């Protein structure tokens, strides 16, 4: 499996461009299942989860066309017919958001068979709220042999109140409701920009959705949806990761093709920590010459501070003067990066969902192990300020959600290279992926 070799100490200088948002592209690709006409998506990030979704859709009978050259960030998905509306365990085990196909398939085809996702490195992550919501829309649900089967002649509009705010749960039921009979009202919805981006695409496909991005979404069901063309929003988590990279390395970095309006919680937390930034409508400049101040953090649903930035912010907290307390409120096991940071010399103690970081620590290089997507990002950040050369193993976790990260970082001065392990065979990789 590939590794990264990173020599610390280089300030990041220059301009880095943000890719499209993985967590908007995935539901938008699933939305193509709702129509028999082509859906064209632009600004699609070239990351492994996108490739997995393409395989998933193709396995159902969809035609999935990749752009290349200048159009490499475009994909055309045409689900003229869907002979096998099923998401197999083989695919779902490598990417749990494959369950996003459940709602669109039962809405379009009247039945769907989707593998239940197993455990995950960051938490149990059940999909009970997706299933409960589909039952409220009149779907008959059977769970057996590790699969959930949903069937309905036609879904019926209903009022659904989520017991807990769930991003893909909101997206799954939003898609299902577009083809349901009558009105659906979704309450206590996720307000993430990725949900609003999906609704934007669905409305272009002829859906009747109001209120996306707020806690209450209203959907007037329609009989049929059409094809559409849509540009995916920029990846706010990738932008946030670069913001911390620029600050931590004492650099001067301009982060372009991003939407600062989606970064409010991250920018205000960085300001609290003493980081200087300057925004324009589609870019943010970060100047990392100030010492950092310790500040506490609670992860929350949007517009609060995103859990997907918690690990990266912890890397920054190791370089801040004083004690920072980070509380992870969304996932029960999202501190896998802590012991690896401690191996690099950080002073961090974990109790339940709270981590106490004492800084400033002098980090030293080490061989460390990536365990999940965002934990990997925090190790890359720490290695860029550590003294010496670090080796990061299992960087395939990072490839799931960051496009050509080592090239982008090297482009602004980081000393990072990928060590390919050509001998790692696919089966071994697939076995390890089922984290
Ligand atoms: C989305 O996951 C993102 N993934 C995650 O990003 C992100 O961390 C998460 O939202 C929170 O912001 C995608 O969009 C593809 P949830 P999702 O349902 O939808 C519980 C990354 O790094 N819950 O909002 O799976 C759940 O266990 C990834 O890019 C239930 O109990 O998260 C969690 O504690 C990681 N039952 C909480 O709700 C359900 O049916 C929020 O999870 C659904 C969720």
Among protein residues, the one with the nearest Cα to ligand 1's atom 18 is 166
How far, in Å, CA of 115 to CA of 102, rounded?
A: 10
> If you measure from the C-alpha of residue 286 to the centroid of ligand 1, how many angstroms do you get, rounded to a whole number?
29
413: left (phi over 0), alpha (psi -120 to 50) or beta: left
Span from the CA of 293 to the centroid of ligand 1 (angstroms): 30
SS3 238: helix
- The residues assigned a catalytic role are 120
- List, for residues 239-257, the tens digit of each pLDDT value: 999 999 999 999 999 999 9
Contact yes or no for 152/139 (Cβ under 8 A): yes
Report the alpha-carbon distance of residue 358 to residue 348 in Å, rounded.
6
pLDDT digits (tens, 9 = 90+) for 195-220: 999 999 999 999 999 999 999 999 99
Ligand 1 atom closest to Cα of 332?
A: 34
Pairing of strands 183-187, 217-220: antiparallel
The whole-number average pLDDT for the span 24-52 is 97
How far is CA 316 from each of CA 244, 275, 279, 282, rounded to the nearest angstrom? 7, 10, 20, 24
What does the longest C-alpha to C-alpha distance in the chain come to?
Answer: 62
Check pLDDT > 80 for residue 435: no
In ligand 1, the atom with minimum distance to the C-alpha of 301 is: 12
Order the strands of the 159-161 sheet from edge to edge. 159-161, 183-187, 217-220, 208-210
- Which of 56, 95, 141, 169 has the most ligand 1 atoms within 8 A of CB, as the residue to mutate? 169
Bond preceding residue 303 cis, omega within 30 of 0: yes
Nearest CA to ligand 1 atom 41: 166
Tell me which DSSP letter residue 262 carries.
G
- Residue 97 DSSP label: G
Are residues 255 and 239 in contact, defined by beta-carbon separation less than 8 angstroms?
Answer: yes
From the CA of 124, give the closest atom in ligand 1: 27
93 confidence band (pLDDT: 50, 70, 90): confident
Give, as one character, the DSSP assignment of residue 10: P
235 three-class SS: coil
Mean local confidence (pLDDT), 347-360: 97
Residue with more model confidence, 149 or 117: 149
């Amino acid at each position: 499996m590939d590794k990264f070799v990173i020599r610390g100490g280089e300030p990041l200088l220059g301009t880095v461009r943000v890719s499209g948002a993985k967590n908007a592209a995935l539901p938008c690709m699933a939305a193509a299942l709702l129509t028999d006409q082509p859906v064209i998506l632009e600004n699609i990030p070239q990351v492994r989860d996108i490739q997995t979704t393409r395989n998933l859709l193709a396995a159902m009978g969809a035609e999935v066309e990749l752009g290349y050259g200048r159009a490499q960030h475009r994909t055309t998905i045409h689900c003229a017919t869907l002979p096998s509306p099923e998401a197999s365990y083989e695919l779902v085990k490598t990417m749990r958001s494959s369950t996003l196909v459940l709602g669109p398939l039962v809405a379009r085809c009247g039945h769907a068979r989707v593998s239940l996702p197993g455990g995950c490195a960051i938490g149990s992550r059940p999909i009970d709220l997706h299933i409960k919501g589909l039952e409220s829309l009149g779907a008959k649900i059977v769970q057996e042999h590790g699969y959930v089967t949903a069937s309905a002649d036609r879904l019926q509009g209903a009022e659904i109140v989520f017991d807990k705010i769930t991003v893909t749960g909101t997206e799954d039921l939003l898609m299902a409701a577009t083809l349901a009979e009558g009105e659906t009202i979704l309450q206590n919805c996720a307000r993430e920009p990725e949900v609003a981006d999906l609704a934007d695409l669905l409305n272009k496909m002829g859906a009747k959705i109001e209120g996306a991005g707020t806690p209450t979404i209203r959907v007037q069901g329609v009989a049929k949806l059409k094809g559409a063309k849509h540009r995916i929003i920029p990846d706010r988590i990738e932008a946030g990761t670069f913001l911390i990279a620029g600050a931590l390395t004492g650099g001067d970095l301009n982060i372009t093709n991003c939407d600062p309006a989606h970064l409010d919680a991250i920018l205000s937390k960085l300001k609290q920590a003493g980081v200087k930034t300057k925004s324009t409508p589609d870019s943010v400049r970060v100047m990392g010459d100030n010492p950092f101040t310790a500040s506490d953090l609670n992860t929350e649903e949007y517009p609060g501070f995103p859990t997907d930035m918690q690990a990266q912010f912890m890397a920054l907290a190791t370089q801040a003067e004083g004690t920072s307390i980070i509380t992870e409120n969304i996932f029960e096991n999202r501190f896998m990066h802590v012991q690896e940071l401690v191996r690099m010399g950080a002073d961090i103690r974990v109790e339940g969902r709270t981590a106490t970081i004492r800084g400033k620590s002098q980090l030293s290089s080490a061989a460390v192990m990536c365990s999940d997507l965002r934990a990997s990002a925090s190790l890359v950040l720490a290695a860029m300020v550590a003294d010496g050369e670090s080796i990061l193993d299992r960087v395939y976790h990072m490839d799931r959600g960051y496009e050509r990260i080592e090239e982008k970082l090297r482009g602004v001065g980081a000393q990072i290279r990928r060590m390919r392990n050509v001998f790692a065979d696919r089966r071994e990789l697939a076995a390890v992926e089922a984290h």
